[in-house]
Amino acid sequence: MLAWWVMSRWLNDFVYRIELGAGIFVLAIAITSIIAVLTVGYRSLRAALANPVKSLRSE
């Protein structure tokens, strides 16, 4: 909500104006969430499949 208000105020100063809908914010949240889930999932799977003996030998 705050981001929408700040961006709307900033965009009103330009000669060529565009409408700033909620869709762009929903899309940004969705993309960020997908990237976070994929990253955490990949790292978790890699840690779960790692050989603990190999980790203990290198310490």
Instruction: Note the pLDDT tens digit of each residue in 2-56.
Output: 888 888 888 888 888 778 788 888 899 999 999 999 999 999 999 999 888 877 7
Judge whether 13 and 6 are in contact, CB under 8 Å. Answer: no
Please give the Cα distance from 34 to 30 (Å, whole number): 6
Q: Where does residue 17 fall: left (phi above 0), alpha (psi -120 to 50 degrees), or beta otherwise?
A: beta
Domain boundaries, the chain: 24-59
Please give the Cα distance from 11 to 17 (Å, whole number): 6
Helix (H/G/I), strand (E/B), else coil: 11: helix
